[in-house]
Amino acid sequence: MAYGKRTGLYHLERVFKQKNFKELIHSYFGLKLPNIKVAVTGSGRVAHGLIEIMNLLGLHEVEPDDYLKRRFAYPVYTQLKGKDLYEHEITGNYSREDFHQNPGNYQSKFLPYASQTDILLNGVYWEEGIPRLFRKEDIAQPDFIIQTIADISDDKAGSIPVNMGSGTIDQPVYGVDKLSFAKTPPMKAIQ
């Protein structure tokens, strides 16, 4: 919804304005999406809900490697799970069990996706000590092309370091200035 409103490429109503799930699904039918690339992070219930919506919208799922290497003539998404997002600082490997026991030994390997992603739908679990997906300063880099981030987990300064934790049902969208990191109006043009 936010990306469509910001770019003017399509229009979606806010979910809470739909009477029921059936009406929500119906609003997706016939929606013509541009050739966007969407990254969905996580592997739990939140991520599965996001993937269900991606499928209802008609986005094609692609493997993370293809997502990084190719442009597509249709809208796509990829799901980035733990092994796609984190690696051990010394070995470069990923062990889910070790990651959850020793997250401080891991670093994020998300940044290459920031140069290929139009919309980031973040559904990873986060708590203090788990590496953030990127550094706040990374958003100022020219190859960081993500235009819209939906942080479903909504952890203030959590896995998404520019999350200010101030979204509400009435006003869920805000912008972030790429240089000052200050909160801006939600649909401010990209500089």
Distance CA 73, CA 35 (A): 6
pLDDT band at 186, cuts 50/70/90? confident
The domain defined by 2-184 folds into Rossmann fold (3.40.50)
Contact 176, 183 (CB under 8 A): yes
Q: Is the pLDDT of residue 190 over 50?
A: no
Give the per-residue pLDDT at 40. Answer: 98
Angle at CA of residue 15, ends 78 and 59, nearest 5°: 25
Q: Which two tokens stand for residue 58?
A: 């008609």
| Residue predicted with more confidence, 160 or 21 | 160
Structure tokens at 59: 């986005």
What pLDDT, on the 0 to 100 scale, is given for residue 93? 97
More confident residue, 186 or 62: 62
Q: What is the pLDDT of residue 80?
A: 98
Mean pLDDT in residue range 24-41? 91
% of the chain with per-residue pLDDT over 70 = 97
Please tell me the predicted confidence (pLDDT) of residue 55: 93
Alpha-carbon gap, residue 156 to 33, rounded angstroms: 30
